Structure 1
Amino acid sequence: MKVKEVAELFDISIRTLHHYDQIGLLTPKDVTDAGYRVYSEDNLETLQQILFFRELGFPLKEIQTMMHNPSFNKKEAFILQRKMLIEKRNKLDKMIENIDKTLQHLMGETQYTYKERFENMNMKISQYEEEARHRWGNQAVDEVSSKLNNLSKDEQIELSDSWDNIFNKLASLRNHSPKSKEVQIEIKQWYDFLNENFSNYSLDAFYGLGQLYIQDERFTKHIDRYGEGLALFMSEAMKVFTVQQKRGHSDGHHD
């Protein structure tokens, strides 16, 4: 489908589709010689999920982070979105019922207590929304910040020293292949360090973190202070580590 057809199908503006393309959120599968964007069926499914996330209140930047996460799964996301939309529908039904009863009360038809009037006004964040953010969003990064803030000054210094040692050692190995034994030993140190001190990182989450090092300029800028190009080098090494560990687990399982 061309951009105009997609815009009409989803009832959104062509400008919106151009913006999604510009920020790398939804890139058309092809561009014709005449310069027309052409969207595939896979593109349309991606757009469908973007619009569902938007309807559920997720900002574009957060949607981009989640959908670019290597562990993001379209089917699982649709299931979660369905749960969130049903939950939203139930909330709206309760709020409509609340308004009806309030109007009846104001017209003197019924008595409606304050407790009854406000009991259906629960606006807390959906548990499914939290799950989506936890699995594919920035929550893991937020957890690290929270953990650091809860440590004593001495503990922060000790942790920072260990952190620096690992990054400095990796920076000194930048001329090696990310697949080399020396590099993989240090990357395992980083993986173990994160799991021991911050959160339980699965292999997929560790891989995703490595991708953030090169996708998010805040990470890249911070890591490259230890040595230019270190963020990209670590990202590649973390990818190798993930693949090798998964292969090892798979081989062990078959044995």
Structure 2
Amino acid sequence: MRTVHEVSDLSGISIRTLQYYDRIGLLHPTERTQAGYRLYSDDDLARLQQILLFRELEFPLKDIKRIINSPDFDRSKALEQQIELLELQRSRIARLIALARELKEKGTGMPTFEPFDTKKIDEYAAQAKASWGSTPEWKEYESKSAGRTDEEERSMGEELLSLFKPFGQMAAEGADPASEKAREQAKRIQDYITEHFYTCTDEVFLQLSRAYGAGGEFTRNIDAHAGSGAGAFAMHAIEAYIEG
């Protein structure tokens, strides 16, 4: 666990900014000391990284919060977009450096403004932003979450995670993910997502299940709240439920 001062030193983000992220529900520390001081886990730092990546894409904080709190947030997709944007930026910086060196060595010459053109970067950033807001699921989520407070959003996220606890218990007992009990619990999760976030079709639910059991941030969060193996068990239970 790291203190807010340590996270600030490590990330280069000011303490005031970290406090603001906590206040608006964008980045809550996992724990607090008895004196109320913030303590950040490795998962918190991973979330901060993702926030900063979206900031590089010039997403507003309110959009970042909605995206990374969404049940179908695709971290891999976000990273692919960030890599592409950085490659474009690196290429532009290389051209600017080459132009500066040429001007230094040769003095004035035929003026060129191509290295200053940010059109490609702007177009890609716009496409990336559109990809997060154009799906019917995202539109529905935006509509349903419009009037909610941060506390309500947090509470629903916790309620959703609590629905995975039976999976953790089943995994510990060596139960069959294709059992009727497991499939019924999968349906409860699907129904909860549909009621509170967006219409969770079988296709979308199957995609979510792969994220639940892929071993990444989704899996770690589920296992932390529901018990070791809950994420992987959920994936297999949802697959069995969808397949009928």
Which residue does the alignment assign to 1:242? 200
Which of 115, 118, 121 is the matching residue for 1:123?
A: 118
Q: Does 1:24 align with 2:25?
A: yes
Larger Rg: 1
Which of 195, 211, 216 is the matching residue for 2:146?
A: 216
The answer to whether the Cα contact below 8 Å between 1:71 and 1:136 also exists between their aligned partners in 2 is no
RMSD in angstroms over aligned alpha carbons? 3.4
Query: Where in structure 2 are there 5+ consecutive unaligned residues?
Result: 149-192, 208-238
Residues 31 and 208 of structure 1: CA distance in aligned 2, closer, same or farther (over 3 Å) = farther
Which residue does the alignment assign to 1:169? none
Q: Deviations over 1:127-170 (max 9, x none)?
A: 54234212224xx3xxxxxxxxxxxxxxxxxxxxxxxxxxxxxx
Q: How far has the Cα of 1:21 moved from its partner?
A: 0.8
Take 2:12 and 2:88, find their aligned partners in 1: how far apart are those partners? 24
Instruction: Using structure 2 for the length normalisation, give the TM-score.
Output: 0.56
Q: How far has the Cα of 1:88 moved from its partner?
A: 0.7
1:1-255 pair list within 5 angstroms: 1-105=2-106, 107=107, 112-114=109-111, 117-126=112-121, 127-137=123-133, 140=134, 205-217=135-147, 236-237=194-195, 241-243=199-201, 246=204, 254=243
The answer to whether the Cα contact below 8 Å between 2:21 and 2:28 also exists between their aligned partners in 1 is yes
The answer to whether the Cα contact below 8 Å between 1:206 and 1:238 also exists between their aligned partners in 2 is no
Which deviates the most, 206-215 or 241-250? 241-250
The answer to whether the Cα contact below 8 Å between 1:95 and 1:121 also exists between their aligned partners in 2 is yes
Q: How far has the Cα of 1:42 moved from its partner?
A: 1.3
The answer to whether the Cα contact below 8 Å between 1:3 and 1:38 also exists between their aligned partners in 2 is yes
Take 1:213 and 1:12, find their aligned partners in 2: how far apart are those partners? 32
Q: Secondary structure at the match of 1:120?
A: helix
Q: How far has the Cα of 1:43 moved from its partner?
A: 0.9
Residues 29 and 125 of structure 1: CA distance in aligned 2, closer, same or farther (over 3 Å) = farther
Instruction: Using structure 1 for the length normalisation, give the TM-score.
Output: 0.54
Which structure has more RCO (C-alpha within 8 Å, separation ≥ 6)?
Answer: 2
Aligned sequence identity (%): 33
Q: How far has the Cα of 1:103 moved from its partner?
A: 3.8
Take 1:246 and 1:67, find their aligned partners in 2: how far apart are those partners? 17
Q: Secondary structure at the match of 1:113?
A: coil
* Count of residues in correspondence between the two structures: 168
Take 1:77 and 1:121, find their aligned partners in 2: how far apart are those partners? 26
